[in-house]
Amino acid sequence: MARIGVISISDGRDHVHARNAEFIAAKQAGLVESLRAAGHEVVVGSDLVSRNDLAGSVAREVAAAGVDVTIFYYAVWAFPHFTMLAADATRSPLILVASTDPTEPGLVGMLAAGGALDQIGRKHTRLWGAPDSADGGAGLVEAAGAHARAAAAVASLRGSTFGRFGGRPMGMNTTVANTDEWMRRFGIDVEEIDQYELVLRAEKADAGEAAKAREWIEQHAAGVHYDGNKLTPELLERQIRSYLAIREIIAERKLDFSGIKGQPELTEHFATMDVTEAFLNDPYDWNGPKPVHITATEADMDGALTMQLMHKVSGDPALFADVRHYHADRDIWDLCNSGQHATWYAARSDDPAANLARVNFYPEVFFFPAGGASVQHIAAPGQMTLGRLTRENGEYRLQLMLGEFETYDDATTRELVNQSTPEWPHAFARLDVPAERFLSRFGANHIHAVPGDRRAEMRAVADLLGVRLDEWSRG
């Protein structure tokens, strides 16, 4: 969850503030209690702002706590210039929240303050409601939390490092972004790492650890389908050693998220990166729980950036897939890409054994002559938020939509997967957008997703990043 600062703004007349202080404090306490009950860390200003000097000092104090977002709370009429002084003392995103208790003009205070911020171009979000009421409270706290999670995700980009293993794959311009723009717009540095570093490190990786991992996979997976050619125990261990190698590089170079080119060099001459990428994106491996390290195949920079933001706002692994096929007769999409679906998506369980019980490791297909295992499963059903940061005429936009992953009986599933590549992972998605609109306007062949309805957070992400929002729905 996020760290949220709360500062209550009051009337500047001493006798009015003295009358209102207890009322403001009680309303603030209700808001703070509701935010904490939702799981957020809340930093509360040490005083109610009723003077010029307090506006600056209280705001600086809250800002020094490293909050992701600051709420200015209006339970009563508040002098607008206090908001201006407090806003100048903090760089975090701002949310203005008004109490709707009709006994005091909190809405008036918020509107006056918001208008003053508009005049100087200080962006902010406005919310209103009673956090302790059954009707509007959950909505207010949920909306504030969504903005706070988005602010935390965006803030986490600054000072982070993206590790790009290899360059542009197979001429795919949509996977390559300008490193200068990433630093200027997002505060992200791009560390360029040759793929040969992976090969060298993989050859030196701990053979005992790789054997242990292979045995764990063989024990828990639905099947490891060795064929003596494209998939052997030795090739699977090579893929595992690649995972160990990149984990070592991530730790050494302090990489926050990554992308691996893979094609065509590694897939022609070494091994596919499917196992490596799947377990990097998983919240576990054979040694137990671990942090998710967002990793995009085909060194897809905009894909990895989208996944990192989705992961930060949701806490879940993010899915990477090609938009492989549209089944017009069923109005469903086959989202499929070699090995990139984290195994977590097979059952969405905290128990890796429950997920792996639905995962098959198949010999790779003809695209990848170096061989190795693909990581195949059918994504578990449920509501999903899907989208991607794409670029149009050099400008970023967030293309966003809601969808539903579906599963079917065994016969139907076999029929569908056999129409494309049965050895690869599949997510069958019903999207809340007409196919004609999607295919005419979506700006890449890669798409990304996380469970649940995270559109509120992603809308706020787009606003905080200053990028255009293209949100689609059938409505």
360-400 confidence digits (pLDDT tens): 999 998 889 999 999 999 999 999 999 999 999 999 999 99
In this predicted structure, the answer to whether residue 134 has a pLDDT above a threshold of 70 is no
Structure tokens at 433: 């957008």
**Average of per-residue pLDDT across 213-228:** 98
Q: Which of 260-269, 314-323, 350-359 has the lowest mean pLDDT?
A: 260-269
**Average of per-residue pLDDT across 113-135:** 88
101 exposure class (CB count in 10 Å sphere: 0-12, 13-18, 19+): middle
Residue 338 confidence (pLDDT): 80
In this predicted structure, the answer to whether residue 133 has a pLDDT above a threshold of 60 is no
**Average of per-residue pLDDT across 418-434:** 96
CATH topology of domain 3-157: Rossmann fold (3.40.50)
State the pairing for strand pair 94-98/69-74: parallel
Hey, what amino acid is at 416? L
Structure tokens at 215: 């045995």
In this predicted structure, the answer to whether residue 454 has a pLDDT above a threshold of 60 is yes
Report helix angle 106-120 to 80-88, nearest 10: 50
Of 206, 364, 197, 377, the C-alpha closest to 287 is 206
Domain boundary assignment for the chain: 3-157, 161-471
Structure tokens at 465: 């990043």
- At residue 339 the predicted structure's pLDDT band, cuts being 50, 70 and 90, is low
Residue 5 confidence (pLDDT): 98
- At residue 138 the predicted structure's pLDDT band, cuts being 50, 70 and 90, is low
State the pairing for strand pair 360-363/332-336: unpaired
With a pLDDT cut of 90, the percent of the chain lying above it is 93
Distance of CA 99 to the CA centre of its chain: 31
Of 319, 330, 305, the C-alpha closest to 415 is 330
In this predicted structure, the answer to whether residue 132 has a pLDDT above a threshold of 70 is no
Of 104, 122, 275, the C-alpha closest to 202 is 275
**Average of per-residue pLDDT across 126-155:** 84
**Average of per-residue pLDDT across 342-360:** 97
Structure tokens at 39: 């799981």
**Average of per-residue pLDDT across 194-211:** 96
Residue 136 confidence (pLDDT): 44
Residues 6 or more apart from 61 whose CB is under 8 A from it?
A: 45, 46
Q: Which CATH architecture has domain 161-471?
A: Alpha-Beta Barrel (3.20)
- The C-alpha atoms of residue 473 and residue 406 are separated, in whole angstroms, by 18
**Average of per-residue pLDDT across 305-334:** 97
Q: What's the Rg (C-alpha) of the chain?
A: 25
Omega within 30 of 0 (cis) for the link into 264 = yes
In this predicted structure, the answer to whether residue 281 has a pLDDT above a threshold of 60 is yes
Residue 137 confidence (pLDDT): 52
In this predicted structure, the answer to whether residue 351 has a pLDDT above a threshold of 80 is yes
Q: How many residues does the chain have?
A: 475
Map tokens 């918001």 to a residue: 114
In this predicted structure, the answer to whether residue 233 has a pLDDT above a threshold of 60 is yes
User: Using H for helix, E for strand and C for coil, what is the string for the chain?
Assistant: CCEEEEEEECCCCHHHHHHHHHHHHHHHHHHHHHHHHCCCEEEECCCCECCHHHHHHHHHHHHHCCCCEEEEEECCCCCHHHHHHHHHCCCCCEEEEECCCCCCCHHHHHHHHHHHHHHHCCCCEEEECCCCCCCCHHHHHHHHHHHHHHHHHHHHHCCCEEEEECCCCCCCHHHCCCHHHHHHHHCCEEEEECHHHHHHHHHHCCHHHHHHHHHHHHHHCCEECCCCCCCCHHHHHHHHHHHHHHHHHHHHHCCCEEEECCCCHHHHHCCCCHHHHHHHHCCEECCEECCCCCEEECCCHHHHHHHHHHHHHHCCCCEEEEEEEEECCCCEEEEECCCCCCHHHHCCCCCHHHHHCCCEEEECCCCCCCCCEEEECECCCEEEEEEEEEEECCEEEEEEEEEEEECCCHHHHHHHHCCCCCCCCEEEEEECCCHHHHHHHCCCCEEEEEECCCHHHHHHHHHHHCCEEEECCCC
Mean pLDDT of the chain: 95
Residue 475 confidence (pLDDT): 80
In this predicted structure, the answer to whether residue 197 has a pLDDT above a threshold of 60 is yes
- At residue 63 the predicted structure's pLDDT band, cuts being 50, 70 and 90, is very high
- The C-alpha atoms of residue 335 and residue 444 are separated, in whole angstroms, by 13
- The C-alpha atoms of residue 142 and residue 453 are separated, in whole angstroms, by 12
Report helix angle 274-281 to 233-253, nearest 10: 50
